[in-house]
Structure 1
Amino acid sequence: MKTRRSVQWRALWTLIFTAVFMLVLIIRLVIIQIADASSLKAYARNIHVHKIILPAPRGKIIDRNGTILAMDVPTYQIVAAPKYVSHPAQEAAVLAKYLPFSQSLLKKVLSNNSWYALLDRSVPQSLATKIEQLNLTGISVIPTSGQEYPNGTLASQVIGMVGANGQGLAGIEYEDNKILSGKPGYWIVRTDASGNPLPQWQEAYKAPQPGDTVQLTIDANIEAVAQKWLKWGVKRAHALNGTVIILNPHTGSVIALANWPNFNPNNYYSATPLEMTDYAVQDPVPPGSIFKPVTASAGLGLGLFTPNSMFDTRGYKIVDGVRINDWNPVGWGWITLTRGLEVSSDQVFMDVALKVGVDGMYHYIKEFGLDHPSNVGLPGDSSGIWIPKNQVNAVDLATIGFGQGMAVTPMQMITADSAIPNHGIMMQPHILKAILSPTGQVIKTVKPQVESRPDTPKVAKEIEHMMVLEATQGTGVPAQVPGYVIGGKTGTAQKIVDGKTSSNLFVSSYMGFGPVPHPRFIMLVMINRPIGKLFYGDQVSAPVWQHIASYLFKYWKIKPYAGPDNGSKPFVKP
């Protein structure tokens, strides 16, 4: 009897439990169907509906004539999933035949048991197809896009490069990244169980907006020639590096900007810091005697001297008890200011600077734009290094007079001296010519802009004549181009090492313009740390200047016109 009653109680409790469970289940189903319906639908949609970001094609970079310097092209990434690679050594041996990496490095990467490894961020379609046909386990080919530089090393520090994330890393690619990047689009689409898009279930689509085209002021043909002869000059002098800048003094536009050594932005990850630095704007150095036209401008502009003012040169000057030597240890005796610039007497320009005074010199330093970055439109633009005005003593002032005791960038220096062949007017340097839409329509044009007027036309003409004599019968004779009149100034500066002036490390320069009397260009050749017997500016940089200038006259079809005197006639006031 007890057993039967016990069975009945068990059956009852089972029934109650089942009823309660069913009731809870029904309530939960109601909640799911009604209360949680919207959130669950959204959850399901998120699983099967994806927003795919569509990268925007990057804009082009072109030269002043439309030559393509950088463009967006289809490319492919080679990606590995090492966790699925069963035979790392064998696959590494195969991939080493196609990728620019050693077999040992590839084996190390493929053996690390990770889920993801980027083997190569950008390979062309032909190579991607070959790798894909190998059917290697754990190796994938991912289509993407990337920036290609069809001219290789040409103007590499100017153009820069783009990283794997599509962002500019250096040069114009970095400076004008917002212009070049465009705006990405998107594609909202349903996917299957494997995550593959189902185009027939497309829900939304927004096309990417391509980036705009950046047109530079440089001429690719002139750039290539400048680069060629700069390389020749650097190697000839066994130097560390060098820079060439060519400006239009009447507009401030950069016609060429070359550095050596340089790098190939298509393979930038193998470049060294020396190859990637844009020394034209990023590396301030003592300018040496190419600064003397600024000192002369101060002396003439303030009315303290004339081109015929006389100086007693002895090869040195004692300033506050400190002997400062001229580059010529015996001097030239009594010479004029004009002759002083012609032979590049350091003592003459010490005398001028000391007479002008600290306030006067720093006023002209500011007027010539040497106290701030050049603002040419390139990243890393340095403002130079100057002793604070209130800390300048007589020795500092004397050495500043001939281009020592401070540091400026090549771009700052050529911009300052460009006022001389432009009637005393200094233009704002710029490397951006225009911004164009993807279809080629002009969006913005950069117009020439006056930065300052440091010289009167009279003073500028006087200094121009001095620089013509320097190029025709002074230290700049090696820069002469037969049949043409040029003006120029050599420079040989001692480098600053650990805060002290070095006696054996130099910066050798030549600054020149032509053809006179209607100059179309001003060019600076600056070669850093020449080693050996050749280290003066007339020995190292003037020959490079001469080769490039010869090309410019022919390229622009300027016929020879100079007579036997080659521009060395006595100065006649305008």
Structure 2
Amino acid sequence: MRPTKLTRWRNVWLAGFAAVAMAVIAIRLVLIQVSQAASLDQYEASFQLKRIVLPAARGEIIDRNGEVLAMDVPRYQVVAAPRYVTNPRLAARELARVLPFSRARLYSVLNDHSWYALLASSVSPATASAVNQLNLPGITTVPVTGRIYPDGTLASQVLGMVGVNDQGLAGIEYADNRILSGTPGYWTVRIDGYGQPLPQWQQAYTAPKAGDTVQLTIDANIEAVAQKWLKWGIQRAHASNGTVIIMNVHTGAILALANWPNFNPNHYQNATPLEMTDYAVEDPFPPGSIFKPVTAAAALALGLYTPNSLFYTRGYKIVDGVRINDWQPQGWGWITLTRGLEVSSDQVFMDVALKLGVSSLYHFVKLFGFDHPSNVGLPGDSNGLWIPANAVNAVDLATMGFGQGFAATAMQVIAADNAIANNGVMVQPHIVKAILNANGQVIHRTPVVVESRPISAAVAHEVQHMMVLEATQGTGVPAQVPGYIIAGKTGTAQKIVNGRTSNSQFVASYLGYGPMPHPRFIMLVAINHPVGSLFYGDQVSAPVWEKIATFLFHYWQIKPYATPDNGSAPGPVP
């Protein structure tokens, strides 16, 4: 069908109109680019890319049985855009009903006409809901995460805490911060000149990856009992602080590490330095007589003495013109090395140390791990304090034999004495059992690390026998648990105050393991600065050891020696 004349004119008219319109647009674009170029450049510059960090959920800390000790929970920030708050006085009054801030403080923030203000950094979901229900213009909530410790003060120095920037500040939270913190995500957006995101200009999004879970070797049930009786013992002796360490003899796994006083990591801002100190690894002290098994083991290993070697004790010893008193002023007369350990004769171990000499004593000090931190896996792990070998005189050497004149941490001491309990094999203590991913799969398991074999099994058995006698008929009788055979050693060390040995400040301790002859655990109770009539290790720390050990024997269902297997079957190791 041929187009009519009217149709041809209409097409011409439309084409002409389109041509004119295109010309107008082209001219307009030229004018804009030439005359308004500077203003357009300024407008474009007002839009910038901004990368918003999306924090990752922090991994949990759990005990050896899977009980959660530290976890992230949903929390919210309360934020405001004061410029859009229509009635600051009303908003402040309403918010003061649900937030822990005064009306005046909130009003001062909401009345400054700024673009952004953080009203509360971490509130519960219930509080966030209450804020949202107020329907206040310019006020909203933003989901974040918060760290909580469900058991409060339980193992607080071990766990540590997390700061406002989600960084670990102490304990495992600090030591394993990289594992727990995960990988943050990012959201890259364009923002306008006022710093506000433009959602339609989202450039890229990378999801955050949650941190891994750290599983500890600690058993929360044992930890709670250890804390309970440690507190009891410290208050009973009017002492300042103390620690209890319980370790698997064969693997070095720390089953409990209790300190008192402690703190609540949910409110760590209120804690004192003493409450936050991990006494087990951070605070070296003279171990006193709990070091004597190491001295005895060294002498036996070198063949200098036998368990039946005789010593004459008079209650003191003169070394280079210096009188060093035994704790028993009248002495015991002629006694064997075994009896010397039983009654904890300082004079016997002065003789042994002087016979060993500096070189041999320091050789065994190194073999027993006193030359380095315990490497248990906690921050603040101290190296202890020793006189350089070339500066040790005879008086120093004599006092070192019974655990004075140097300082070691409780963790170093229990690791060293554990080599005796473990038939001469020294294992490295550790407090992390495994690392688990977000799906609960084990991605790393802490291996048992054998540090050295400082003594033979035969020598270890000799010292074990001496320590059994100490616990059954010597100074350690108060630690005895009816129905079970244990090995142990009391300690009452004089503290160093202002560079001098104090006659009034002590560290009372008891170290023991059992049941014999196949010990399942070793435990050290150290109580610092008891005040009053109770200050010896057998008075202060041995009763605490007995109460915790009684629980352990029942908790692990270890049979007493009166049963047919005589309590010696090894059984499953915790």
User: How far did 1:148 drift?
Assistant: 1.4
Cα deviation code 1:411-442 (max 9, x no counterpart)? 00000000111101110111111111111111
Structure 2 counterpart SS, 1:162: coil
1:345 aligns with 2:345: yes
Q: Counterpart in 1 of 2:509?
A: 509
Distance 1:42 1:338 in 2: 89
Q: Percent identity?
A: 68
Distance 2:44 2:59 in 1: 38
Q: Counterpart in 1 of 2:300?
A: 300
Greater CA drift, 54-63 or 136-145: 136-145
Distance 2:107 2:503 in 1: 49
Distance 2:225 2:145 in 1: 31
Distance 2:86 2:488 in 1: 65
Distance 1:81 1:311 in 2: 84
Distance 2:122 2:347 in 1: 58
Letter in 1 for 2:73: V
Unpaired runs of 5+ residues, structure 2, are 1-28, 568-574
1:263 aligns with 2:263: yes
8 Å CA contact retained: 2:80, 2:110: no
User: How far did 1:451 drift?
Assistant: 0.5
1:448 aligns with 2:482: no
1:43 aligns with 2:45: yes
Distance 2:363 2:329 in 1: 31
User: How far did 1:249 drift?
Assistant: 1.5
Cα deviation code 1:110-142 (max 9, x no counterpart)? 799897987754332223434565689998754
User: How far did 1:446 drift?
Assistant: 0.9
8 Å CA contact retained: 1:91, 1:136: no
Unpaired runs of 5+ residues, structure 1, are 1-24, 568-574
Structure 2 counterpart SS, 1:151: coil
8 Å CA contact retained: 2:92, 2:103: no
8 Å CA contact retained: 1:281, 1:411: yes
Letter in 2 for 1:293: P
Distance 2:35 2:307 in 1: 99
Q: Counterpart in 2 of 1:207?
A: 207
Distance 1:520 1:95, change over 3 A: farther
Letter in 2 for 1:557: Q
Distance 2:218 2:242 in 1: 18
Distance 2:215 2:560 in 1: 32
Q: Counterpart in 1 of 2:475?
A: 475
User: How far did 1:552 drift?
Assistant: 0.6
User: How far did 1:541 drift?
Assistant: 0.6
Q: Counterpart in 2 of 1:464?
A: 464
Q: Counterpart in 2 of 1:534?
A: 534
8 Å CA contact retained: 2:94, 2:134: no
User: How far did 1:365 drift?
Assistant: 0.5
User: How far did 1:30 drift?
Assistant: 4.3
Distance 2:237 2:409 in 1: 21
8 Å CA contact retained: 2:88, 2:107: no
Q: Counterpart in 2 of 1:313?
A: 313
1:374 aligns with 2:374: yes
8 Å CA contact retained: 1:96, 1:106: no
8 Å CA contact retained: 2:312, 2:333: yes
Q: Counterpart in 2 of 1:424?
A: 424
Structure 2 counterpart SS, 1:462: helix
User: How far did 1:42 drift?
Assistant: 6.7
1:523 aligns with 2:518: no
Q: Counterpart in 1 of 2:22?
A: none
Distance 1:267 1:114 in 2: 33
Greater CA drift, 247-256 or 114-123: 114-123
Structure 2 counterpart SS, 1:481: coil
Structure 1 counterpart SS, 2:300: helix
Letter in 1 for 2:124: P
Cα deviation code 1:153-205 (max 9, x no counterpart)? 11110011111111110001100111111111112345678766565554321
Q: Report the RMSD for the aligned CA atoms in angstroms.
A: 3.3
Distance 1:342 1:541 in 2: 17
Distance 2:82 2:394 in 1: 68
Question: 1:323-402 maps to which residues of 2 (within 5 A)?
Answer: 323-402=323-402
What is the TM-score normalised by the length of structure 2?
Answer: 0.85
User: How far did 1:71 drift?
Assistant: 1.1
Cα deviation code 1:501-521 (max 9, x no counterpart)? 111111010000001011010
Distance 1:504 1:91 in 2: 58
What is the TM-score normalised by the length of structure 1?
Answer: 0.85
Distance 2:98 2:519 in 1: 54
Cα deviation code 1:82-106 (max 9, x no counterpart)? 9999999x9699859853x8x6996
